[in-house]
Amino acid sequence: MALLRRSETVIAGILLLAMVLIGTINPAFWQLDNLFSLMRSNVIIGIMAMGVLLVLISGGIDVSFPAFAVAAMYLTIKGMLALGYNGVVLPLLAATLMGLAFGAVNGFFVYKFRMIPLIVTLGTSAMVRGFLLGIVGTSMININKMPTALIDFARTDVVSVTKADSTTYGLTAMVLIYLGLALAMHLVLRYTMIGRSAYALGGDPEAARRAGFDLRKTIFFIYCVAGALAGFAGLLHSGMIWLANPRDFVGLELDVIAAVVLGGASIFGGRGSVLGTMLGVFMLVMVKNSLIIMRVDTTWQLVVVGLIVIAATALSAWRDRRRAA
């Protein structure tokens, strides 16, 4: 009974229903290579969604993370090329730290000037993108220049299957990184005081202040983590697609926010879970991919994602209002 009342259960139910529906329309959906590629598409959006989940739980919003992701990615790869460095761990660390530093700017403005997070993140987003394209450069770095270590790393598969026609496909190991980060976020949210302080801040900021939470620390933590995750995901993405495009990720904020709200996070703050978010990400990615499989014109994608945002937020608003009454 308690399980039934959890919103994750509801989301999982809807997800299953949607999978059955899509699978009936197009049985190709259930083929292993499709499922593998679906999971692969979850990785980047999923990692970014963990950051957005944290921000939404605290009652804020962030539209700057795609800019941070692309800046961290492009700057890191530029740096690697300039230094002739070919590795994995250090660059990922650098991209993460860069994202974190950008996030700290968000945190500073949101905390210090008590400004609406949307407006702050609009500003930082424009600054970072403008800086990247206006000063660093606009040219793509493609496969023949990309650091090989990154590509090789992102190519690792967990399992690989050989088809009858001797082509192989596999499940990328990046899924494990996503799962690991998701687990880490779950542990942070559930088992650390800083995680609980995000819930407290989103639930009632005044009560959180009175209880003696260090809200400065909380707000900085939230926006820094969101930035760091975006930076990390950005670089990983370039390794996965063998390309570093400084104009990448435009409009991605909506997909990610849609996924998080679909996953049951409240648009008023205070509620949301990692499991729900993962389900929401899966649902969003699945619907977008299925549009292609079902031969729906790709131009409809924006409309569909927009409608998903509206439907998911309307449901979230309705649910939270009922709970408050």
Partner 1 sequence: MKAQMNIRSLVNRDNNIVQLLVMTVLIFAVMTALSPDKFLRYYNFESITYIFPELGLLSIAMMIAMLTGGIDLSVVGVANLSGILAGVLFHKMAGAAGIADTGILTVLLGGVIALGTGLVAGTVNGLLITRLGITPILATLGTGQVFTGLAIVLTGGPAIVGFPTAWAFLGNGKILGLATPFVLFAAIAALIAFVLSRTALGINLMLIGTNPKAALFAGLKRERMVLYSYMLTGVLASVAGIILSGRTNAAKSDYGTSYLLQAVLIAVLGGTNPAGGRGTVLGITIAVAALMLLSSGFQILRFSNHLIDFIWGAFLLLVIAINAYKNRTR
Partner 2 sequence: MSDGFIELRNIRKVFAGVVALDAMSLVIKPGEIHCLAGENGSGKSTVIKIMSGVYQPDGGEILIDGRTMPGMSPIEAIAHGVQVIYQDFSLFGNLTVAENLAMNVHLGEKRRLMNWRRTRAIAREAVDRLGVELDLDAEVASLPTAGKQLVAIARALMSDARLIIMDEPTTALTRKEVETLFRIVRDIQARGIAILFVSHKMREMLEISERITVIRNGRKVAEGPTGGFDEALITRHMTGSDILNEPYVWTPPPGPPPVPRLEIRSLTVPGKCEDLSLAIRPGEIVGLSGLLGSGRTDLALALFGMVPRYQGEILIDGAPVRLRTTQEAIDAGIAYVPEDRLSEGLFLPQSIKRNMLATSYERLARRLVIDRGQAEEMTQGMVRAMQIATPTAEKPVMQLSGGNQQRVVLARWLLTDARVLILNGPTVGVDVGSKAEIHAKIRELAQHHGLAVLMISDDVLELVQNCNRIVLMHRGRFIEDLPAADVTEETVSDRLKTFT
Query: Which parts of this chain interact with partner 1 (CB under 8 A)?
Result: 61, 109, 112-116, 118-120, 122-135, 138, 251, 254, 257-258, 261, 267-268, 297, 299-310, 313-314, 317-318, 321
Cα 235 to Cα 311: distance, rounded to the nearest angstrom: 32
Q: For residues 205 and 59, is the Cβ–Cβ distance under 8 A?
A: yes
The answer to whether 270 contacts partner 2 (rule: CB under 8 A) is yes
Tell me: does residue 147 bind partner 2 (CB under 8 A): no
Smallest distance, Å, CB 134 to partner 1? 3
Q: Token pair 């690792």 is at which residue?
A: 156
Question: Using the rule CB under 8 A, is 322 a contact of partner 2?
Answer: no
| CB closer to partner 2, 47 vs 219 | 219
Q: Which partner from the list partner 1, partner 2, none does 13 bind, CB cut-off 5 to 8 Å by kind?
A: none
213, 201 contact by CB (below 8 A): yes
Give the residue, chosen from 114, 210, 295, 322, that forms a contact with partner 2 under the rule CB under 8 A: 210
Distance CA(67)–CA(230), nearest Å, equals 9
* Whole-angstrom distance, CA of residue 280 vs CA of residue 11: 7
Smallest distance from the beta carbon of 171 to partner 1, in angstroms? 31
H/E stretch holding 176 reads helix 174-191
Burial class (CB within 10 angstroms; exposed 0-12, middle 13-18, buried 19+) of 179: middle
Take residue 51 and report the two structure tokens written for it: 């950051």
Structural element, H or E, at residue 157 = strand 157-162
- Nearer to partner 1 by Cβ, of 59 and 147: the residue is 59
116 touches which of partner 1, partner 2, none (CB within 5 to 8 A by kind)? partner 1
Cα(48)–Cα(220) distance, integer angstroms: 17
Considering beta carbons, is residue 206 or 297 the nearer one to partner 2?
206
The least CB distance from residue 107 to partner 1, in Å, is: 13
- CA dist., res. 240 & res. 252, Å (int): 17
In the complex, minimum distance from the CB of residue 311 to partner 2, in angstroms, rounded to a whole number: 23
CB 188, min distance to partner 2, A: 10
Cβ atoms of residues 65 and 237 within 8 Å: no
> In angstroms, what is the minimal distance from the CB of 266 to partner 2?
8
Q: Which residue's CB is nearer to partner 1, number 32 or number 136?
A: 136
Say which residue the tokens 């968000």 belong to.
Answer: 106
Both structure tokens of 95: 């991209």
Binding test (CB under 8 A) with partner 2, winner from 82, 135, 191, 295: 191
Positions that interact with partner 2 (CB under 8 A): 190-196, 199-200, 202-204, 206-213, 270-271, 323-324
